[in-house]
Structure 1
Amino acid sequence: MPEDEAILPHDELLRAVEAEDPSAVLALAEDTHYADLAKAYQELDSDKHAFFLKTIGPALASDMIVELPDSMIEEALDVFSPSELRVLFRELSDDDRVDVLQDVGDEARLRFLGLLGPEDEELTRSLLKYDHDTAGGRMTTRIGRVFANQTVKQAIEMLRRSQESTETLSRIFVVDDRGRLIGKLRFRDLAFNTWDTPIRDIMREIGPERVLATADQEEAANMLLKYDLIALPVVDEFEHLLGIITHDDAMEIMQEESTEDIEKIAGIGGEQSEETYLNTTILTQFRRRAGWLTGLAFVSILSGYVMMRFGSILSQVFLLSLFLPMVVAAGGNTGGQASTMVIRAMSLGEIDPGTAWQVAWRELRTGFFLGLLLGSCMAVFTVALLPLFHMPMPPGLSYFKVALTVAVALTTQVTSATFLGSLLPLGARAAKLDPAVVSAPAIAAIVDVSGMVIYFTVARAILGL
């Protein structure tokens, strides 16, 4: 068989499911990564879902279900019997179990909680009190934990007993006798010290690299990146160690947050869909896009009103219509650039609330120099090249005056749009709104109107119309 016609394992699995060959499905699924299993599950027709899940069984399906979109999780769980669900939930880590239960309905959540053992149920309920998008909602409690008053030998024996249920031993955290976080150490610190060495003597004190359980998940992910951590400890307000967020959690969080910001910048509202683009229904896409588009359409009517209000200026100097789209677009482009730069800096924790005016002043100056550059380029174009096209010019006006009008209007528009683009995200944060919401669509609509007002006002003043 030619190499380009070879059947990929993913396609082979789909064909086995379509043929309802259980032995082939199970054999292929055992050799397939759970993320690829989830992808295959989403590509199957819905009437094949039950066969697929029943065939691979609850143990193999446990990690796969975590990778499914929220809307498909409850349906997948309902395929299994109570005894099979007990196996499935037992296979899940505590943070994955919580993620799954946060994505099902209230009635189903209570039913699934009743299938857990006493310890798992108590732990799961304690984690469910944190919102999904908080550090507490994303943490795992399966951590390497030792006490400061232990010796190396005692610590190793304690870790040995919990090794199977620990997420990672690359970072081990040290607590006092009240469970408060006071330090950390590496496994090699235990390996290369004598058994009677006190843990307190070899641990390193914890600095600012910790996060409150109630903090936003994005803050936790940024701290992992900022301090180059493998695991970030999560504490309560009394510094009790509750769990950790690992680097793979941070990657998932950043993917979610960046997707959310991109969608909001594009004016897409509603809950973020975890389903693939092709699996998302047309109705869902319509609902998420329609609101912003409708609102901005009405805002854009103001642009039409400005055109009507200053229509006499265009009728007198029709040449001005050549530059109008450029002036308006330049404001939208530079305003969008400014808001993107500020939002990025805010998300990385580079801008504090007290530095708002410092940011605005910086962007105001940047906008002025950008406007000056663009205005100068358009002025040179108007004076040097436009006469070659023999554009009609009303008596008493010169290309120099038109060039000056365009240059002043463009400089003013770019400066004001850049200033506005920097202030809107800062104002949104002060009002407890998501800064991404006020980005490109809102700025474009605002500067479209302001750009026309600036352009026609400058033209009336300089050209004496």
Structure 2
Amino acid sequence: MPEEIASLPTADLTLAIEAGDQSAINALAQEVHYADLAQIYQDTEEEKHGLILKSIGPEIASDVIVQLPDSMIEEALDHFSPSELKVLFRELTDDDRVDVLQDVGDEARQRYLGLLGPEDEELTRSLLRYEEDTAGGRMTTQFGRLFASMTVKEAIETLRRDQEITETLSRIFVVDSKGHLIGRVRLRDLAFNSWNTPIREIMKEVGPEQRALATTDQEEAANLLLKYDLIVLPVVDEFDHLLGIITHDDAMEILQEESTEDMEKLAGIAGETVEETYLQASVLTHFKRRFVWLFFLALLAIASGYVMMRFEGTLMKIFLLSLYLPMVVAAGGNTGGQASTMVIRAMSLGELTEGTSIRVIWKEFRLGMILGCTLGCSIAALTIFVLPAFQPELPSGVTFTRFGLTVAIALAAQITTSTVIGALLPLGARAIRLDPAVVAAPAITTVVDVSGMIIYFTIAQAILGL
């Protein structure tokens, strides 16, 4: 087994890099997938980066650089001469070229644009007009395009001429004489029809819901691909002129980025998503992204301590209340977190529109009532029938039945309230144009901790006569 592992091209490439053997690096890089090569580059000491890039040359490096984290791209490009950069940028597809240029500084971007040919520069500048996280910023203009007035023979001749500069021919789009998107055809549609068949007769219309404006958010565009089971998504301007396409692999990358961002926000991690791996990101980077939320939540937690101080007398009269306090508070945090997660997920999938907020609250209220009453009755049964076996002290006039009823009512109220709060917070965030995922689970937990203590002690005072 060790011999087999050592014979893998990636392992041999790592050894060649350590030995500084440029010819071996170049030869082995031909056998390694560019994604694996990019990972090796990231895992290698920074001092060796120049050696790797010089050894593989600008042609292979063009595929590798696209796979690197944003923060490493400009550093990688600095290892090449202007003539090598011209080759590298020429090898990139238009969407990858734009992605790379969006990740470098303004000064470097202008310098790199000056290395492009006139046509590539004009196209790249037009794509750079769109924000990086929009459909226009993620689209490619290298796709199959036919005119509705063509015949099958003319279409095949056009595609044969453009095949080298076309990223995908799995779906070919049809436009009218003014460039408006009107339909799509497949290669097999062309293959199984006679040469004189008009394209207009065999194309399928592309509905308005199966296209995206260039200014559409990238996540919304990716979800359109998923919703309508598309391989590629056409991108148009406000006049329905076909500008480009988003491919399924781009959509997968977008959804991965968006899900990572949402997960980090739910965990209370601030700032932009870091593309470096966990081990590559510095301790200072992790510190900056985590400290802000931790500090904010620590301040909020002081409110919990204040509530405890206000109800100190109640606790002193029946100290047994402290046994159930963590359970009541935690149950609220858990159910609130569940509700917020479900609502945020439904929002991200486009299942909730602005007019559905009342239905969401009503649904979560009923669910909270059912969960709270069920859990409350279960805990009450344990309190009434099991707790007496441990012989805890209760003040005179307070029975285990009465005490169990108190806990059950408090628990039901806490779970119901927390479930509604968990749904309300992301809905409220959306209403004021904030990212719902910013309302993170830790924040919800802190909020319902305070409300849970108030509910618990208030109900205890009322029922137990404290």
Q: Can you list the C-alpha shifts for 1:152-174, whole angstroms capped at 9, x where unaligned?
A: 11111111111111111110101
Q: What is the rounded CA distance, in whole Å, between the counterparts of 2:117 and 2:170 in structure 1?
A: 29
Contact 1:421 1:439 survives alignment (8 Å): no
- Per the TM alignment, residue 441 of structure 1 is displaced from its structure 2 partner at its CA by 1.5
Q: Deviations over 1:183-237 (max 9, x none)?
A: 1111111111111111111111111200111000000110000000000000010
**Distance in structure 2 (CA, Å) of the matches to 1:438 and 1:359:** 17
The one-letter amino acid paired with 1:161 is R
Cα separation, 2, equivalents of 1:439 and 1:360: 18
Q: CA RMSD in A?
A: 1.0
- After TM superposition, list the pairs within 5 Å mapping 1:161-176 onto structure 2: 161-176=161-176
The answer as to whether partners of 1:135 and 1:212 remain within 8 angstroms in 2 is yes
Q: How far apart are 1:178 and its partner, in Å?
A: 0.6
- Equivalences for residues 143-222 of structure 1 within 5 A: 143-207=143-207, 208-222=209-223
Match of 1:285 in 2: 286
Counterpart residue type for residue 400 of structure 1: T
Secondary structure at the counterpart of residue 224 of structure 2: helix
Partner of 2:343: 342
Runs of 4+ in 1 over 6 A off after TM superposition: none
SS at match of 1:278: coil
> What residue is the counterpart of 2:66 in the other structure?
66
Name 2:299's counterpart in structure 1.
298
The verdict on how the C-alpha distance between 1:310 and 1:7 changes in structure 2, with shifts beyond 3 A counting, is farther
Name the CA distance, whole Å, in 2 between partners of 1:166 and 1:278: 37
Deviation, 1:150, is 1.2
SS of the aligned residue for 1:318 comes to coil
Residues 435 and 150 of structure 1, relative CA distance in 2, 3 Å threshold: same
Match of 1:52?
52
CA distance in 1, matches of 2:324, 2:11: 55
Looking at structure 2, the residues matched to 166 and 187 of structure 1 have their Cα atoms a distance apart, in angstroms, of: 14
1:56-455 aligned within 5 A: 56-207=56-207, 208-455=209-456
Q: CA deviation at 1:7?
A: 5.0
What are the Cα deviations for residues 86-123 of structure 1, in whole angstroms up to 9, with x where unaligned? 00001100000000000000000000000000000000
Q: C-alpha separation between the residues in 2 aligned to 1:364 and 1:379?
A: 22
CA shift for structure 1 position 346? 0.8
Helix, strand or coil at the partner of 2:150: coil
Secondary structure, in 3 states, of the residue corresponding to 2:235?
Answer: strand
Residue identity in the other structure for 2:149: N
Q: 2:17 maps to which residue?
A: 17
Percent sequence identity over matched residues? 69
Amino acid at match of 1:78: D
Q: Match of 1:304, as an amino acid?
A: G
Q: Secondary structure at the match of 2:244?
A: strand
1:4, distance to aligned residue in structure 2 (A): 7.3
Amino acid paired to 1:452: M
- How far is 1:125 from its partner? 0.4
Deviation of 1:10 after TM superposition, in Å, equals 2.2
Query: For this pair of structures, how many residues does the alignment match?
Result: 465
Report the Cα distance in structure 2 between the residues aligned to 1:132 and 1:2, rounded to whole angstroms.
44
Q: Distance in 1 between matches of 2:6 and 2:353?
A: 55
Larger mean CA deviation between 199-208 and 232-241 belongs to 199-208
Aligned residues of 2:146 and 2:174 also touching (Cα < 8 A): yes
Distance 2:123 2:332 in 1: 53
TM-score (norm 1): 0.99
- In the aligned structure 1, how far is the partner of 2:434 from the partner of 2:192? 51
| Residue 5 of structure 1: how far off its partner (Å) | 6.2
Of stretches 6-15 and 286-295 in structure 1, the one that deviates more from structure 2 is 6-15
CA distance in 2, matches of 1:312, 1:378: 25
1:322-347 deviations in whole A, cap 9, x for unaligned? 00000000000000000111111111
The structure-2 alpha-carbon separation of the partners of 1:12 and 1:2, relative to structure 1 and needing over 3 Å to count, comes to closer
If the length of structure 2 is used for normalisation, what is the TM-score? 0.98
Q: Give unpaired runs (5+ residues) of structure 2.
A: none
Q: CA deviation at 1:411?
A: 0.4
1:31 to 1:2, Cα distance in 2 relative to 1, 3 A: closer
Q: CA deviation at 1:431?
A: 1.1
Residues 112/305 of structure 1: CA separation in 2 closer, same or farther (3 Å cut): same
- What is the distance in 2 between the residues matched to 1:374 and 1:4? 56
User: CA offset at residue 370 of structure 1?
Assistant: 0.4
- 1: CA distance, partners of 2:206 / 2:382: 61
Is the 1:363–1:422 Cα contact (8 Å) retained in structure 2?
yes
- What letter is aligned with 1:88? L
Amino acid at match of 1:354: G
d(CA) in 2 for partners of 1:215, 1:151: 33
Unaligned runs of 5+ in 1: none
